[in-house]
Chain A
Amino acid sequence: MSSALTVLKEQIKHFYLVRRLSVYEMKSANSSNYLGILWEIINPMIQIAIYWFVFGFIILNRGENFLPWLMAGIVVWFFVNPAITQTSKSVYSRMNMVSKMSFPMSVIPSYVIFAKLYQHLMLLGVIIILLGFTGYLPTVYILQLPYYVAATVLLLFSLGLITSTLSTIIRDVHNIIVSLMKVMFYLTPILWVLDAKEHPTIVNIMKLNPLYYIVEGYRASLLGESWYLIAHWEYTLYFWAVVIILFLIGSSLHVRFRDRFVDFK
């Protein structure tokens, strides 16, 4: 409990640091190519096009409504996937930048997530415009979108505290996470979804994955389907319970090992 408070206090106290460092993080990732940050838009667009072609026409033959459905869900995946894989290596790959033991280490995963968040917001803007062209103009339901963005950030941060600590101690954890995320892509309803009436058990098992909640929430807000967080309030409670538990585990791991991070370099 006390380590959770320590981490929270650090985040609030060093918020300016998080913002500045995330800007530099973004700059150093994109400074060497000519199109720079535009790649953060181009790359997802190419992937969406190929998934649309392969899954929409060849494998699943889902027809016209597939593209907006795909875009509304996959947009958050382009945030979650790089954020999870990069936060997991964030601490050990930046140890040489940290030149003071008193440096608030817990801001490292959070500034890496923030750097990805800016790119996500840009891509989200582009996707909202594209959805408008495919006939899904923003509705009142889009008001719940900020809630889902915030929920994603908090989930990523709680998870990032755990993964960044573990992979600093054992580097292989990072490799496990990278492979696991490839699996998760197919276990989260991004390309396909099961009908809850036909396969209730499987769907319920899949729903244990908190990313399921996020992806469906994004869809509900972008496609104007429902007030997902209220309509599925039990699921909302489950999601936040998961986030809080992950955060408690993550912060206690982080605080316990952070003085020794430099020894694991």
Chain B
Amino acid sequence: MEKSVIVKDITKKYKLYNKNSEKLLDLLLPKSYGEEYFALRNVSFEAEKGDVIGFVGVNGSGKSTLSNIIAGIVPPTDGNVQTNGKTALIAVSSGLNNQLTGRENIELKMLMLGFDKNRIKELEPEIIEFSELGKFIDQPVKSYSSGMKSRLGFSISVHIDPDILIIDEALSVGDKNFAEKCLEKMNEFKAKGKTMFFVSHSIGQMKKFCQKALWLEYGELKAYGAMKEVMPQYEAFLKEYNAMSKQEQKKYREEQMKRRSSALV
């Protein structure tokens, strides 16, 4: 099988500052100020063409950071990502300009993604058709509901014909009808052998759709493999975590938080 995404030793560090002056000193002086925080640490995995991979993990485990790095929006601090083909990220807040109409946003977004004039003209009617916005397409985006916005964002992203598609919680907003339409479109992509990453808290949706799962825990790769193997482990963990008392949960979180800041490394 051909590899489509190779992620090697990705680390993403953020700096946490307690004061604004620390931030300034860190910028100006060679000495390091502030506390380092690992959003991701030494994450490596490979995806093959046609893989549909679900990212699982509790809130703040680094799923969105990883999606952003694979999509090429955020640079990693260390390590590298190799992607074969065009990537597209679909997120709920996908950079639409509120003052402009839906139609104008389509052109704007595609220009930003590097499409030329003719290709945009060609794709525009399809996108409008798929988004089901009707006459709202010529209204400013600020008048859209959140569902309409995500529909527009999703329509644009799937029509730019990406080879690697990353879907970050974007399907939780649309109604059932549209979600089904999206799943249909994604099955179409699956059949074409495109690679997809899927971030969602809906375990049911994930089981139905993904063959592989990647479990992130506090910025580190906990498990990666077939859905059948990883998901039961994750579910067992969730069960255990939920069974803990409030205090135990808090202790657990604090312990993990310590592991992620550099002070103790």
| B114 proximity list for chain A (CB < 8 A) | 100, 102-103
A36 to chain B, nearest CB (A): 12
Give the nearest-CB partner of B113 in chain A: A100
Nearest CB to that of B101 among chain A residues? A31
Closest residue of chain B to A102, judged by CB?
B72
Within 8 A of A (CB), among B45-63: none
Query: With a CB–CB cut-off of 8 A, which chain B residues contact A20?
Result: 107, 111
- Decide yes or no whether A27 CB sits under 8 A from chain B: yes
B24 touches A32 (CB 8 A): no
> Cβ of B74: which chain A residues have Cβ within 8 Å of it?
101, 262-263
Determine if A97 and B95 form an interchain contact, defined as CB atoms under 8 angstroms apart. Answer: yes
List B contacts of A29 (CB < 8 A).
99
Residue of chain A at shortest CB distance from B14: A263
Would A21 and B111 be within 8 Å (CB), given that A27-B104, A28-B100 are in contact?
yes
Which interface class (under 10, 10 to 19, 20 to 34, 35 or more) fits A?
A: 20 to 34
A24-B108 contact in complex given A101-B75, A170-B24, C-beta closer than 8 Å: yes
Residues in A whose Cβ lies below 8 Å from that of B99: 27-29, 31-32
Nearest opposing residue in chain A for B88, CB measure: A99
Against B, the Cβ 8 Å flags (1 = close, 0 = not) of A15-29 are 011001100100111
Residue in A29, A32, A102, A263 with the greatest tally of chain B CB atoms within 10 Å:
A263
Report the bound CA distance from A129 to B99 in whole Å.
33
Kindly list chain A residues whose C-beta atoms are within 8 Å of the C-beta of B140. Answer: 31
Q: How far is the CA of A137 from the CA of B244 in the complex (A)?
A: 85
Chain B interface residue count: which class?
Answer: 20 to 34
Contacts of B14 in A (CB 8 A): 263
Q: Contacts of A262 on B, CB cut-off 8 Å? A: 73-75
| In the complex, B89 has a CB within 8 A of chain A | yes
Interface residues of A in 1-60 (CB under 8 A from B): 16-17, 20-21, 24, 27-29, 31-32
Identity of the chain B residue whose Cβ is nearest the Cβ of A31 in the assembled complex: B99
B94 interface hit (Cβ, 8 Å): yes
Assembled-state Cα–Cα distance A20/B121 (Å): 14
Are A99 and B112 CB-contacts (below 8 A) given A16-B117, A259-B75, A260-B75?
yes
Residues of B within 8 A of A100 (CB): 72-73, 112-114
Q: Is B236 an interface residue (CB 8 A)?
A: no
The answer on a CB contact under 8 Å between B89 and A99 is yes
B97 close to chain A: CB less than 8 A:
yes
- Mark each residue of chain B from 81 to 117: 1 if its CB lies under 8 Å from any CB of chain A, else 0: 0000000010001110101100010011101111011
Inter-chain CA distance A20–B114, complex, in Å, is 12
Contact B112–A97 (Cβ < 8 Å) = yes
Q: List chain A residues, Cβ under 8 A from B104.
A: 24, 27
Q: How far is the CA of A27 from the CA of B4 in the complex (A)?
A: 40
A103 nearest in chain B by CB position: B112
As a 0/1 sequence over residues 125 to 169 of chain B, the CB contacts with chain A under 8 angstroms (1 = contact) are 000000000000000100000000000000000000000000000
Instruction: Name the A residues within 8 Å of B183 (CB-CB).
Output: none
A132 to B151, CA, bound (A): 54
User: Could you tell me the distance between the alpha carbons of A102 and B74 in the complex, rounded to whole angstroms?
Assistant: 11
Q: Are A96 and B95 closer than 8 Å at their CB atoms?
A: yes
A206 close to B (CB within 8 Å): no
Of chain A, the residue at the smallest CB distance from B75 is A259
A27 and B101 alpha carbons, distance in the complex (Å): 10
Complex formed: what's the CA distance from A253 to B108 in Å?
Answer: 27
Q: Which residues of A contact B89 (CB under 8 A)?
A: 99
B100 & A99 in contact (Cβ 8 Å cutoff): no
**Residues in A whose Cβ lies below 8 Å from that of B111:** 17, 20-21
A-B pairs, 5 with minimum CB distance: A28-B99, A101-B72, A97-B95, A96-B95, A31-B99
Residue numbers of A with Cβ under 8 A of B are 16-17, 20-21, 24, 27-29, 31-32, 96-103, 169-170, 259-260, 262-263
